[in-house]
Amino acid sequence: MIRTRFAPSPTGFMHLGGLRTALYAYIFAKKNGGRFILRIEDTDQERYVEGATKVIYDTLRGCGLDWDEGPDIGGDFGPYIQSERKSLYLPYAKQLIESGDAYYCFCTKDEVDERRKAAEERGEVFKYDKHCLSLTKEEIQAKLDAGVPYVIRHNAPTTGETTYHDLVYGDITTPNDILDDMVLIKQDGMPTYNFANVVDDHLMQISHVIRGTEYLSSTPKYNLLYKALGWDIPEYIHLPPVMRDQHHKLSKRDGDAYFSDFVSRGYLPEALINYLALLGWNPGDEREFFTLSELQDAFSVKGINNAPAIFDIGKLTWFNFEYIRRLPFDKYLEMATPWFEKALGKGRFDLKRLAELMQIRTEVFDRIPDMVRFLAEMPEFPDELYVNKKMKTNPEVALENLQLIKPVLEGISDWTETTIHDTIMPVIAEAGKKNGAVLWPMRIAISGKENTPGGAFEIAYLIGKDETMRRTDAAIARLVSKQ
């Protein structure tokens, strides 16, 4: 059976690159009738962030990526949190010591740092010099008996090459003399990430390891461990990085790294997942919109590119706009209401009508307040807004036409869109005016904005008769003063 895993560290929020890895691991497993496993890799306790595991759960479930085995639901290969598996790793490390593929290292951090500094001063790339590999069994036992702190290091070969096959990047060969003797077991008895993921992937029968290209160079070291322990090596699918541009990764500083940042701004999880799926993968046709089940059907490893994927915020925003436009209206109203109230307060406006006008104009929910704030707070605006060549208006025309409709507006008692429309339109016709020459100045006068959700009648209805008259009077007075 195909078994994939997503193995994040609980060190903060969900990175978009990590979420894409989880997505590919999920849809690859489901496409092939396999199982998707969630494993929490918390061996680095210094970087552990309280609450981060819940963030992982909430993010994956919020995106529809439900796991078949994991910490909170169990499975046949648990526990699924590495810190709860601590006792599993040391026996395998000692097995490697017995076979000569690992050794005890008693060097202190200061000693290693001093050698690293010396290597840097010589212009060399530092790797551990196997200093403790030369210790005799008696010397090692004496240090162990004396309680000298130690780590267990991999004894990497120094000659030859290590080659493995990746389903995206093909055969990859690495000279063994550049491999470092990585630490397998730390002084606190916890395994390093590098060792734990090898042991866990084997014990959990992971068939396909799907992860980012940052692990391409580490994979030869992992494979040496698999071979030394007599285990089958899984298939590898390394994914191209998600970049902000050709030279920069996504970063929290730029506000483009974390899933939660986008959701808090009003991007829909469905839009994010759809867009992330297309970052580094091509379905082989012209389709762009996919449900999660459609992604499962369409996904193929052959469609994964090996070039970095550029994260285009404009493209994501377009996806989000399309997803918002397709929301059931009641769902849109529910999601938009907090954003309306942020700008307008509660109970002052007909939010249902406003939502009807706004749904086809909403690209991202956090842009709503700036789009509707004029309803509650009339902005200052230049008289140049009255100039519209298409509508054949200017400040002089605007003044004339506002004075025309002012008494008509004052005479309306049933303040609805329909009544406003049915009362104003005959007046425009009787005066021999063009509709735009009257309605454009009216909309500018009561909104102060060139672009608004809805036209003059909709805005007049939303702000109410009293406010419409107050703004119309103010506009006329201003235009008169400029004559």
Asked if residues 126 and 120 have their Cβ atoms less than 8 Å apart, the reply is yes
Q: Taken in order 261, 19, 61, 322, is the CA torsion positive or negative?
A: positive
Which tokens go with 476? Answer: 């006329």
Q: How far is CA 280 from the centre of its chain?
A: 15
Establish how many alpha carbons lie within 13 A of residue 43's alpha carbon, considering only the half-sphere containing its beta carbon: 26
Which tokens go with 157? Answer: 């070969």
How does DSSP assign 383-440, residue by residue? GGGG-BTTTTB-HHHHHHHHHHHHHHHHT--S-SHHHHHHHHHHHHHHTT--HHHHHH
Out of 54, 109, 227, 252, the active site residue is 252
In angstroms and rounded to an integer, the radius of gyration of the C-alpha atoms of the chain is 32
Q: How far apart are alpha carbons 444 and 450 in whole angstroms?
A: 7
All residues at 6 or more sequence positions from 90 whose CB lies less than 8 Å from its CB, including other chains: 185, 189
Establish how many alpha carbons lie within 13 A of residue 358's alpha carbon, considering only the half-sphere containing its beta carbon: 29
How does DSSP assign 36-69, residue by residue? EEE-B----GGG--TTHHHHHHHHHHHTT---SB
Identity at 140, one-letter amino acid code = I
What is the bridge-based pairing of β-strands 102-105 and 151-154? antiparallel
78 by DSSP, 3-state: which? Answer: coil
Q: How far apart are alpha carbons 195 and 154 in whole angstroms?
A: 9
| Residue 94 designated active-site | no
Q: Taken in order 450, 451, 457, 462, is the CA torsion positive or negative?
A: negative
Q: How far apart are alpha carbons 90 and 300 in whole angstroms?
A: 38
Q: How far apart are alpha carbons 79 and 37 in whole angstroms?
A: 12
Asked if residues 242 and 250 have their Cβ atoms less than 8 Å apart, the reply is yes
Please list the active-site residues: 252
